[in-house]
Homo-oligomer: A and B are copies of this chain.
Amino acid sequence: MADTVGFIGLGLMGRPMAKHLLAAGHRLIVHSRSRGPVDEVVAAGAREASSPAEVAKQATRIITMLPDSPDVEAVMAGPDGVFGALQPGTILIDMSSIDPSVAVRLAAQAATLGAVMLDAPVSGGEIGARSGTLSIMVGGDADAFAAVTPILHAMGNPERIIRIGEAGAGQLCKLCNQMVIGGTLAAVSEAFALARRAGVDPAAVREALLGGFAASRVLEVHGERILARNYTPGFRAALFAKDYRNVASTVAALDSAAPVSTVVQGLLSALIAGGRGDEDYSALATVLFELAGLE
């Protein structure tokens, strides 16, 4: 029979993910800060736990889906946290997008408590969470990954659930994912800005580029959003900027070099500073349009 699964963090992503677990036949024990989402998931068949520690007492498979590193640290190692009540053999699956070095540290701490912690951030956004087709990038112990694969299958596309390497490798891969998306998005935006300055239709440019080596999902999907000026999220710019802060700290910590990502981070900061953090992250294009004196 399907595992009992603990689930902590019922935000925009966590809620539909939890429901997919229920639909797949898992018993679910949930905890979240906000009342509404808990009621919603309990109504769908989950039981409620009063704290992360309570979740840890009732489940040996525990998923966390939280905004950033400090949230995951608090839920794990804070008061009434998971680490204080861990059952031996528990497998923790942190699906939040956080700093890889925090993932490594928490995994080491979990190991000293007789548990395994996997980092398993996702890509695909709210749409992917709702449709149960997320990409999942996993770091950590291979046997633990194999043991929880059926759980991950309930939320993600089986072909896109990939173990990347040891602890932290999933988070590292997620940062790579955001770097590639951000760099591509900025380049597409600059190309559209140049076309507009020249009086050339950026829609015709997009159409021509989609046929060749410049083709990408970003040009296809975000390119269309930018042309339509449809910046309803999607994925909020503020969260993308958070991921880029983790890119910057990780690049610095590892003495790597990422000059393009550094520029993209500056553009994202300008977007947030301009008060557009709640728009879709493809609104990054507006920063480049404004720099070029375009509406």
Contacts and interface: CB of A to CB of B under 8 A. Distances in A.
A195 B173 contact: yes
Given A172-B198, A200-B164, A213-B221, A177 B257 contact: no
Interface stretch (A58-66, A260-268, A271-279): A260-268
A237 to B, nearest CB: 15
Contacts of A255: 197, 292-293
Contacts of A247: 194
A199 B124 CA distance: 25
24 contacts: A124-B212, A160-B212, A164-B204, A166-B199, A172-B198, A173-B200, A173-B208, A177-B208, A177-B212, A179-B187, A180-B184, A180-B187, A180-B216, A184-B187, A186-B259, A186-B260, A194-B247, A194-B258, A213-B218, A213-B221, A216-B218, A256-B292, A257-B288, A257-B291
Contacts of A257: 190, 193, 288, 291-292
A6 B113 CA distance: 78
How many of these chains are in the complex? 2
Contacts of A221: 213
Given A177-B212, A194-B247, A257-B292, 17 more contacts: A125-B213, A162-B204, A176-B209, A180-B187, A180-B209, A182-B187, A183-B184, A190-B256, A194-B250, A194-B251, A194-B254, A197-B255, A213-B218, A216-B219, A257-B291, A260-B260, A260-B264
Contacts of A266: 259
A9 interface: no
Interface of A: prevailing SS: helix
A195 B180 CA distance: 12
A100 interface: yes
A208 B135 contact: yes
A211 interface: yes
Contact of A173 (B135, B180, B204, B250): B204
Nearest to A178: B214
B135 A211 contact: yes
A34 B211 CA distance: 33
Contacts of A16: none
